Amino acid sequence: MNKNFYSVAKKDTKLNEQQLLDELLKKYKDGTLKPSDRYAIPPQPMPQQDSVKRRSNVNEVALGYTETQARLEALRCLQCKNAPCVAGCPVRIKIKDFIAPIVEGDFQKALDIIRENSLLPAVCGRVCPQEVQCQLPCTVGKKFKDVDKAVSIGRLERFVADWGKKQHEHTIPTVAAQTGKKVAVIGSGPGGIVVATDVRRAGHDVTVFEAFHKSGGVMVYGIPEFRLPKAIVQEEIDQLKAMGVNIICNFVVGRTKTIKQIMEEDGFDAAYIGVGAGLPMFMNIEGEHLVGVYSANEYLTRANLMRAYDFGKGADTPIAMSKKVAVIGGGNVAMDSARTAVRLGAEKVYLVYRRSEKEMPARVEEVHHAKEEGIEFHLLRNPKRILGNSEGVVTAIECLKYELGEPDASGRRRPVPIQGSEFTIDVDTVVVAIGNGANPLIGQTTPGLELNKWGNIIVDENCKTALDGVYAGGDIVLGAATVILAMGQGRTAAAAINEYLKTK
Amino acid sequence: MSHKLLSKKQLCPDVYVADIAVPLVASAAKPGQFVIVCLKGTYSERIPLTIAGSDAEKGSIRLIWQAVGKSTAELGHLKVGDEVENILGPLGKPTHIEKFGTVVCVGGGIGNAPLLPIAAAMKKAGNKVISILGARTKELLILEDEFKAFSDEIIIVTDDGSYGKKALVTEPLKEICQRPDKPNLTVAIGPAIMMKFCCATTKPFDVPTVVSLNTIMIDGTGMCGGCRVEVGGQTKFVCVDGPEFDGHKVNFDLMMKRMQAYKKQEAQALEEYKKHRCKIGL
C-alpha cells in the first residue's frame, strides 16, 4: 500500500513538473515571463540514489537532472545583464549564454558555449565547489539570501555535458597543421589534460608523461567512483589520444628521466609541469605508524585506482577490513575517505574535525551526502594520539575537545584545544586527511627551478617558471586547490607555451 | 606499453630470475634502485621489486623474485615471450658508492639479488669486498658464483648446516667486526629480522651499516606514505627517501609489524589463485 502511494506521488510530481514547464515556456515565448515568475519556480532537487542502497555500492550517487528539470532550473536564471556568476567561475564560462539555450531545449548550443571556455564540463559540473564559485554571486541566491537557492549552474553544466555524451557526440577538436615543435606535459591530471589539448590544437607534437599506470591524476586515484565515474575521465583521455596526443604511463619524471634530459636529449621545445600536490601530510602524533593508520592518499588510491573494493573478486590490492573508522579532516578528501569506508563495509564511521561545520572546506553537497550515509561528525575535536595493541594494530584514538579562538591568517577562527578534555573513541582504522604538500621529486631533480618555502614551484602570471620553456600550474604551484583552478592555469600556460613556440 | 620477458630461469624452489625489456628503466637504473610491477593493469596489484641488474644496450633489466604470494606466484608462471603490462622505475635513491676501504656485503635469502649490483659496484669503486651469503638450506642459496666473481672473500652460511657453515649471517659478521682491521662499511639486505640483527651486531663495533628496506608499497613515488618507517625518530618514506637507510637508526620492530598488515588478505588471495590455477591448468 505504501509502495503504491509513493509511485503515484512520483508520477504526480512528474506530471506537475511537465505542466509547470509547459506553462512557463508559453509565457517565455510570449515574452510575458516576469522575474517574479522565475523566482516562483522551485529550485530543482538533484535526483539521487537512495541513501541506504548506495551504502553498499560504488555507483554514482547524484543521478543528474531529467530534461524537464534542467529546463525548469534554466528558467530560474534571470539572465542578468551584468552576469555576476561569470566572475565566480575560474575559467569564465559564459554562464547565462549557455543557460538560455537549455530553456529552449537546444542542448548542443549550450554545450558549444561551455566548450569555448571549459574542456571538462562533465567533470567540473560534478566536482566543482559551485557554492563558493559561480553560484555564490548568483542574483537569485542573493534574492533568497541563501546560496543553496541560487541557480544550480553546476548541475546544468553536468546535464549538458552528459547529454552530449549520450548523443555519442565525439567531436574531436580540430588540430592545426604540424609545427614540428615538441611539448612535454608532465602529469595527466586535469591541468595536464587542458594543456595537452590546447597545445595540440595549435599543431604541436604533445607527449604526456604519467607516473601511474592509468591517466587522469586525482580524477582516477582520488575522487571516488560514486562522485565521478571513471568512464567519464576515460572518455577525456581517449579524446586526447584521438587528437594525436602521445600518452606514456609508468614514467616518473625525475627518476625515469629528468626534465633536463627530456628537453636536451629528447628534443622537447617546452614542458608543462602539472604534477599536483601528492605528498600526504601526517599529524606527527604518537601512534601514527600503527597498522590501520592510512594517509587519505593511500586509502583512496587502494580503493579507487586499485579497486580494493573488488578484492577477492578479481582485484589483488587489499585494504583494511574495518569495522570502526575515524577519518581526520574536514575537506573533500576527508568526505571521500569516510564515504569510501562506508562502502567498504565499516559499521561505524566517524569524521573528526578540529573546527566547526561552518569552517569545513568540503563541498556542502558532500557533507550532506556523508550525513545521509550515516557518518557521525565529531566537530571541534582533534586526535592527540593513536592507541594500539601489542601487535601494533590501532585500537582507539584519544582526542581533545577544541573551541574556536581568534581568526588566523586564513581568516578562519583558530581552533584551540581545551586542556584536560581528553576522551577516546574505539576504532580499528584511522584515515588522515589533513592535506597534501608538494612532492619534492621534481624540485630535487631540476636545478634552476625556483620553489617557495613549501616546495611549490614559483611561476609568473603566464605560468612560466624560472627555466626557459618550462611552465607549471595546478596544485604544484597553488598548493592543494581545485580541479577547475588547475584547468584555469593549464589554459594560461598553454596560451603562453603556444606564444613562446611561435618565436622559437 | 608492455614489457616482454626475454629470458627466465628458476634459481631454486620458488625463486625466479628474468630479464625483461624495459629500455627506459634499463638506461637510467643505478644500483640500489627498484621498480614497481603491475602485471595486468587495473586489477593486478602494484608490487616493488629491486633491480638485480640492468643492461642499457639490450634495454633490459633483471628481476629476481620469490613466489611468496599471489602476484609473485603469477609472475613466476610467466613464460619467455609473455608480457608484463606495467613496470615503473627506476625508483628510490641509488646506493651511495665510493671507496670506503673494506665493505662487508651481507645477503640473506632472496636479499642476495638486490645486493649483487651493489656489491659489484663497491668492488668496481676500489673496495675490498667481503660477502656473507646466508640461506635456510643449501638448495635455497642463490647467486653464489656471481658473488664469487668479484668478492675478495666469501663466506657461506646455512641455518641447517647443509652447505657452508651452520650459522646465521650474524656470526661471521661479528667475527669480521672483531678483526684488527675492522670493516669500514656493512651493507645488509634480506628479511627484516636478519637486517635488524645485523645492525645489532655491527653497532657495538661502530661499523656503519646500510640496510635496504622492503616495506609495503603502492605507488612508489612518495604520494601515499604506505611505505613509511621511523628512522632516527623521524618519519621517512622508503620509496623516495630510501630504500637504503642507516640501519642503526631504523625502528625495525615497528617496520616488521607494519609488514604484517595484510597477512590475512594475502593468504586468501594466494589460496584463491591456487584454486583457480588448478582448474584451468588441469
pLDDT digits (tens, 9 = 90+) for A291-313: 999 999 999 999 999 999 999 88
Work out the pLDDT band at A480, boundaries 50, 70, 90. Answer: confident
Contact list, B218 vs chain A (CB under 8 Å): 298, 301-302, 306, 317
Residues A409, A413, A416, A421: what is their CA dihedral angle, to the nearest 10 degrees? Answer: -160
* pLDDT (average), residues A316-326: 95
In this model, does residue A168 exceed pLDDT 80? no
* pLDDT (average), residues B103-107: 98
**CB atoms A298 and B89 under 8 Å:** no
Q: What is the model's pLDDT at position B62?
A: 96
In this model, does residue A474 exceed pLDDT 50? yes
* pLDDT (average), residues A192-203: 96
From B153's Cα to the closest Cα of chain A, the distance in A is 34
Q: What is the model's pLDDT at position B279?
A: 54
Alpha-carbon span A63 to A155, nearest angstrom: 10
In this model, does residue B180 exceed pLDDT 90? yes
Q: What is the model's pLDDT at position A119?
A: 86
Q: What is the model's pLDDT at position B96?
A: 95
**CB atoms A298 and B71 under 8 Å:** no
Work out the pLDDT band at A378, boundaries 50, 70, 90. Answer: very high
Mean pLDDT of chain B: 94
In this model, does residue A10 exceed pLDDT 60? no
Q: What is the model's pLDDT at position A6?
A: 46
Task: Convert the pLDDT of each residue in A445-462 to its tens digit.
Answer: 999 999 999 999 999 999
Q: What is the model's pLDDT at position A410?
A: 77
CA distances from A340 to A296, A300, A324, B178 (A): 10, 8, 13, 55
* pLDDT (average), residues B68-93: 94
Task: Convert the pLDDT of each residue in B188-208 to its tens digit.
Answer: 999 999 999 999 999 999 999
Q: Complex ipTM, two decimals?
A: 0.94
Contact list, A292 vs chain B (CB under 8 Å): 261
**B83–chain A Cβ distance below 8 A for any pair:** no
**CB atoms A250 and B226 under 8 Å:** no
Q: Which among A249, A298, A316 is the nearest to B226, CB-wise?
A: A298
**B177–chain A Cβ distance below 8 A for any pair:** no
In this model, does residue B1 exceed pLDDT 90? no
Work out the pLDDT band at A169, boundaries 50, 70, 90. Answer: low
Q: What is the model's pLDDT at position B281?
A: 44
State the number of CA atoms in the 13 A half-sphere of A388 facing the CB: 19
**CB atoms A213 and B41 under 8 Å:** yes
Task: Convert the pLDDT of each residue in B232-260 to its tens digit.
Answer: 999 999 999 999 999 999 999 999 999 99
Mean pLDDT of chain A: 93
Work out the pLDDT band at A11, boundaries 50, 70, 90. Answer: low
In this model, does residue A3 exceed pLDDT 80? no
Q: What is the model's pLDDT at position B149?
A: 94
In this model, does residue B86 exceed pLDDT 70? yes
**A285–chain B Cβ distance below 8 A for any pair:** no
Optimal mutation site among A213, A439, A476, interface B, most CBs of chain B within 10 A = A213
* pLDDT (average), residues A348-365: 94
Contact list, B1 vs chain A (CB under 8 Å): 248-250
**CB atoms A252 and B71 under 8 Å:** no
**CB atoms B28 and A318 under 8 Å:** no
Optimal mutation site among B35, B42, B264, interface A, most CBs of chain A within 10 A = B42
* pLDDT (average), residues A263-268: 96
Alpha-carbon span B17 to B25, nearest angstrom: 17
Q: What is the model's pLDDT at position A170?
A: 63
In this model, does residue A7 exceed pLDDT 50? no
Q: Which among B45, B90, B228 is the nearest to A289, CB-wise?
A: B228
Q: Say if residues A461 and A161 touch (Cβ distance below 8 Å).
A: no
Work out the pLDDT band at B81, boundaries 50, 70, 90. Answer: very high
Work out the pLDDT band at A8, boundaries 50, 70, 90. Answer: very low
Q: Which among A251, A288, A320 is the nearest to B24, CB-wise?
A: A251
Q: Which among A212, A316, A392 is the nearest to B219, CB-wise?
A: A212
**CB atoms B221 and A439 under 8 Å:** yes
Q: What is the model's pLDDT at position A226?
A: 96
CA distances from A64 to A115, A157, A327 (A): 19, 10, 28
In this model, does residue B43 exceed pLDDT 90? no
Number of residues that make up chain B: 282
In this model, does residue B55 exceed pLDDT 90? yes
| Beta strand pairing call for B83-84 and B153-158 | unpaired
Work out the pLDDT band at A12, boundaries 50, 70, 90. Answer: low
Alpha helix stretches (DSSP H) within A296-419: 296-300, 332-343, 364-372
Chain B residue closest to A438 (CA)? Answer: B223
Q: What is the model's pLDDT at position A187?
A: 97
Task: Convert the pLDDT of each residue in A120-131 to its tens digit.
Answer: 999 999 999 999
Chain A residue closest to B87 (CA)? Answer: A250
From B3's Cα to the closest Cα of chain A, the distance in A is 12
State the number of CA atoms in the 13 A half-sphere of B59 facing the CB: 8
* pLDDT (average), residues A477-499: 92
Q: What is the model's pLDDT at position A296?
A: 97
In this model, does residue B41 exceed pLDDT 80? no
Buried b (16+ CB within 10 A) or exposed e, B223-243: bbbbbbbbbeeeebbbbbbbb
Optimal mutation site among A188, A207, A234, A250, interface B, most CBs of chain B within 10 A = A250
In this model, does residue A4 exceed pLDDT 80? no
The x, y and z cell numbers of residue A115, run together, are 566548450
Contact list, A294 vs chain B (CB under 8 Å): 226
From A299's Cα to the closest Cα of chain B, the distance in A is 8
Work out the pLDDT band at B278, boundaries 50, 70, 90. Answer: low
Chain B residue closest to A307 (CA)? Answer: B43
- Residue A34 CB-density burial (10 A; 0-12 exposed, 13-18 middle, 19+ buried): exposed
Q: What is the model's pLDDT at position B97?
A: 96
* pLDDT (average), residues A349-353: 98
Alpha-carbon span B88 to B69, nearest angstrom: 20
Q: Say if residues A215 and A237 touch (Cβ distance below 8 Å).
A: yes
| Beta strand pairing call for B153-158 and B165-166 | parallel
Q: Which residues, 6+ apart, have CB-to-CB distance to B123 below 8 Å?
A: B129, B150, B151, B152
- Residue A336 CB-density burial (10 A; 0-12 exposed, 13-18 middle, 19+ buried): buried
Alpha-carbon span B177 to B203, nearest angstrom: 10
B residues 14..53 contacting A (CB < 8 A)? 24-25, 28, 38, 41-46
Start-to-end Cα distance in chain A: 75
* pLDDT (average), residues B150-170: 96
3-state secondary structure of A482: coil
Optimal mutation site among A214, A281, A291, A316, interface B, most CBs of chain B within 10 A = A316
Q: What is the model's pLDDT at position A2?
A: 43
From B114's Cα to the closest Cα of chain A, the distance in A is 18
Task: For Cα atoms A361, A367, A369, give the angle at the middle one, nearest 5 degrees.
Answer: 150
Share of chain A above pLDDT 90, in %: 86
Contact list, A475 vs chain B (CB under 8 Å): none
**CB atoms A317 and B46 under 8 Å:** yes
Contact list, A316 vs chain B (CB under 8 Å): 43-45, 70-71, 269
**CB atoms A214 and B90 under 8 Å:** no
Q: Say if residues B90 and B36 touch (Cβ distance below 8 Å).
A: no
Alpha-carbon span B164 to A216, nearest angstrom: 53
Rounded to two decimals, what is the model's pTM?
Answer: 0.94
CA distances from A183 to A196, A199, A212, A497 (A): 8, 8, 20, 9
Q: Which residues, 6+ apart, have CB-to-CB distance to B205 below 8 Å?
A: B177, B178, B182
Alpha helix stretches (DSSP H) within chain B: 23-28, 70-76, 112-124, 144-148, 170-178, 192-202, 238-241, 252-259, 263-281
DSSP state of A46: P
Q: What is the model's pLDDT at position A352?
A: 98
Lowest mean pLDDT among A5-9, A108-112, A148-152, A241-245: A5-9
Q: What is the model's pLDDT at position A493?
A: 97
**CB atoms B1 and A249 under 8 Å:** yes
3-state secondary structure of A173: coil
A residues 404..443 contacting B (CB < 8 A)? 439-441
**CB atoms B221 and A441 under 8 Å:** yes
Contact list, B25 vs chain A (CB under 8 Å): 256
**B68–chain A Cβ distance below 8 A for any pair:** no
**CB atoms B88 and A213 under 8 Å:** yes
Q: What is the model's pLDDT at position A173?
A: 80
**CB atoms A213 and B223 under 8 Å:** no
